[in-house]
Amino acid sequence: MYILASGSPRRRELMKLVVPEFECAVSGCDEFVPKGTAPEKIPELLARQKAQAVAKDRPGDVVIGSDTIVVLDGSVFGKPKTPEEAVSMLRTLSGRTHTVYTGVAVVEHGETRSFVQSTKVEFFVLSDEFIRQYVATGDPLDKAGAYGIQGPGALLVKGLVGDYFNVMGFPVAAVARFLGLVP
């Protein structure tokens, strides 16, 4: 059985594109990133922690963990804790190109394999009024970088280079190939 180590509704929907039947289990693990970890390595490290935590209780299953971050100029933008933090993040990303990194880890037969996928995303220049209107929707508060490309946050994005689904938090084509489900 495939187990998605996530409570994210977006990842759940995207996982259905990879395998139609699976279960979800939230890891509940304490996410720990050692000081000095390179930003592009963080989501892979966290994905491994999540998958391994769930796999302890599901040794016969294939457990898949995932984590996504936004990086600009070496700074990591996770999920904003407050609307004010979301406004600040979006002001910083406005008119600039950032990188979205998604780490994916698979635990099977006690072994952990993982990878990280990156996508470049360019934002339009955003007015303060538009940023505040978007933040007021509540959409950015549970998303890395304070936006979701699959919803109203699509209006922020001028363009991207890479995998659209990676920006949503789960690179479905890469995951399917990593699992050996697609040649």
pLDDT higher than threshold 90 for residue 162: yes
**Distance of alpha carbon 176 from its chain centroid, rounded?**
16
Helices 128-136, 83-93: inter-axial angle, 10-degree rounding: 140
* Residues forming the active site: 67
- The pLDDT of residue 27 is 87
Phi-psi region of 113 (alpha: psi -120 to 50; beta: other; left: phi over 0): beta
Q: Which two tokens stand for residue 144?
A: 């890395």
* 56: confidence class by pLDDT, cuts 50, 70, 90: very high
Q: Report the distance separating Cα 34 and Cα 38, nearest Å.
A: 10
- The pLDDT of residue 142 is 87
Strands (E) located in 50-90: 62-72, 75-77
- The pLDDT of residue 119 is 98
9-40 pLDDT, tens digit per residue, is 899 999 999 999 999 999 888 889 999 999 99
Query: pTM for the whole thing?
Result: 0.94
- On whether the CB atoms of residues 170 and 10 are closer than 8 A, the answer is yes
Residue in this structure with the two tokens 């929707």, named with its chain if needed: 137
Q: Report the distance separating Cα 93 and Cα 170, nearest Å.
A: 21
- Among residues 125, 141, 43, the alpha carbon closest in space to that of 92 is found at 125
Average pLDDT over residues 74-82: 93
Handedness of CA 88, 93, 94, 100 (dihedral sign): negative
Q: Report the distance separating Cα 94 and Cα 23, nearest Å.
A: 37
- The pLDDT of residue 84 is 97
Q: Report the distance separating Cα 20 and Cα 32, nearest Å.
A: 31
- On whether the CB atoms of residues 171 and 102 are closer than 8 A, the answer is yes
* 64: confidence class by pLDDT, cuts 50, 70, 90: very high
- The pLDDT of residue 154 is 95
